[in-house]
Amino acid sequence: MPLNLKEDEMFNSKITGLGYYVPENIVTNDDLSKIMDTNDAWIQERTGIKERRHVVKGDGDTTTSMGVKAAKIAIERAGIDKDDIDFIVFATLSPDYYFPGPGVLVQRDLGIKTVGALDVRNQCSGFVYGLSVADQFIKTGMYKNVLVIGSELHSHGLDMTTRGRGVSVIFGDGAGAAVLSRTEDNNTGILSTHLHSEGQHAEELALIAPGMGSRWVNDIIADNDPNDESYFPYMNGQFVFKNAVVRFSEVIIEGLKANNLQAQDINMLVPHQANLRISQFIQKKFGLQDDQVFNNIMKYGNTTAASIPIALTEAWEQGKLKSGDLVVLAAFGSGFTWGSAIIRW
Ligand code: UT7
């Protein structure tokens, strides 16, 4: 339920700075076909992915460090100082530590004063969830500038053998960040966000180490069995795909309706980069042209919480987001969780 604040007591939030960072190491489909039974044709045809980035072990990049690199660019582009950041939101499914989460590590590594830091655990929808949290804090007047980061280091936790090929060819590493700032112009910025979950499908896309829930890290390590595939992410690909296309569509329609808008009003859709076939399905359903849907899964694979902020940054850098444009973000993923953000750029 929206707060009952009067119009003149409310602010709006606007994305004022965007940045991304991906590790230099490019892993092509042909590279993967040397270590598992897969091939470029299958991967491109089923997913659209040509290559992805993997952190080289020992290079020093972590989920946090990549997030920090993206955040520095976003803060600079927002034209503010790190000390102007009032709050940090960090979305990831691959945190550096079991606890604490990466939010506090960003506070430390950026040398930001002791502002609050929140970790979001909503996988592919993590950035939209994070954006929504930040938006509420700004709309109610509590904060002026909120840093929202999505970052993932998947490659170190994937099953890079033929057994894991249905999952491991899809995911890549990287980070994206946005600074959300207060604006008093209620006609621009984040118009609304819409969030959902359906936990009955939690196990359809998940990493559930054996006995997790009843055991903790020490037991799991003690029992470590390298032949047990449940140490790796599991995805019921076709089931996830079918749910994704339905939920993406629903949550975009929900967002448009909430603002009395229609599909024809969309200037740019930036979907979570789950699968090029999903993006193309949504594009067709909403009658959008090729230049109205931003896709970069070809270069980076699926970077879960990082995929929307990386895509949004690239779209902005390429001059594809113009003042006054209606920009729609939509995501779906593990949980299941899904969400959308309707933005007047
Ligand atoms: O971001 C979070 C949300 N995630 C998604 O939205 C992902 C949704 N799902 C998907 O994108 C697709 O389901 C996948 C890309 C994961 C898989 O595509 P698919 O068309 O559903 O393929 P499939 O899993 O049904 O597998 C078809 C065949 C199987 O062989 P058989 O049983 O037909 O002989 C697989 O063993 O393809 C085989 N296969 C592969 N072959 C070569 C699975 N992975 C690979 C691979 N290379 N990497």
| Residue 194 designated active-site | no
Q: Find the length of the chain.
A: 345
Listed ranges 10-14, 59-63, 195-199; the one with the highest mean pLDDT: 195-199
Amino acid letter, residue 284 = K
Digit-coded pLDDT (tens) for 86-114: 999 999 999 999 999 999 999 999 999 99
**pLDDT at residue 251 above 70?**
yes
Q: What phi, psi does 61 have (nearest 5°)?
A: -75, 135
- State the closest ligand 1 atom to the C-alpha of 169, by its place in the atom list counted from 1: 48
Residue 187 is predicted with a pLDDT of: 87
Tell me, using a 6 A CB cutoff, whether residue 46 lines ligand 1: yes
Band (pLDDT 50/70/90 cuts) for residue 338 is very high
For residue 183, give both structure tokens. 């604006």
Q: What phi, psi does 240 have (nearest 5°)?
A: -65, -45
Q: Which of 239, 248, 302, 315 is nearest to 93 (CA)?
A: 302
DSSP class per residue in 252-266 = HHHHHHHTT--GGG-
Q: How far is the CA of 171 from the centre of ligand 1 (A)?
A: 13
Residue 248, preceding peptide bond in cis (omega within 30° of 0): no
12-186 topology per CATH? Peroxisomal Thiolase; Chain A, domain 1 (3.40.47)
User: CA–CA distance from 316 to each of 152, 189, 192, 242, 285 (Å)?
Assistant: 21, 15, 20, 30, 24
| Residue 156 designated active-site | no
| Residue 54 designated active-site | no
**pLDDT at residue 211 above 90?**
no
Band (pLDDT 50/70/90 cuts) for residue 10 is confident
> Exactly one of 272, 275, 295, 296 is catalytic; which is it?
272
Q: How far is CA 125 from the centre of its chain?
A: 6
Question: Quick check: 298 and 311 in contact, CB under 8 A?
Answer: no
Question: Quick check: 94 and 63 in contact, CB under 8 A?
Answer: yes
Indicate which residue's Cα is closest to atom 2 of ligand 1.
333
Question: Quick check: 126 and 304 in contact, CB under 8 A?
Answer: yes
Q: How many CB atoms lie within 10 A of CB 8?
A: 7
User: CA–CA distance from 150 to each of 39, 67, 124, 153 (Å)?
Assistant: 29, 7, 9, 11
pTM of the model: 0.95
Residue 5 is predicted with a pLDDT of: 57
CA distance 245 to 266: 18
Range of weakest confidence among 36-50, 226-240, 314-328: 226-240
Mean per-residue pLDDT of the chain = 94
Q: How far is the CA of 23 from the centre of ligand 1 (A)?
A: 26
The CATH number of 190-344, from 1.10.10.1400, 3.40.47.10, 3.30.200.20, 2.40.50.140, is 3.40.47.10
Tell me, using a 6 A CB cutoff, whether residue 164 lines ligand 1: no
User: CA–CA distance from 266 to each of 190, 253, 256, 342, 345 (Å)?
Assistant: 14, 11, 9, 9, 11
Digit-coded pLDDT (tens) for 26-56: 999 999 999 999 999 999 999 999 999 999 9
- Domain coordinates of the chain in residue numbers? 12-186, 190-344
Residue 4 is predicted with a pLDDT of: 57
CA distance 311 to 110: 23
Residue 2 is predicted with a pLDDT of: 47
Q: Which of 182, 186, 193 is nearest to 13 (CA)?
A: 182
Q: How far is the CA of 208 from the centre of ligand 1 (A)?
A: 20
Tell me, using a 6 A CB cutoff, whether residue 241 lines ligand 1: yes
Do 190-344 and 12-186 have the same topology in CATH? yes
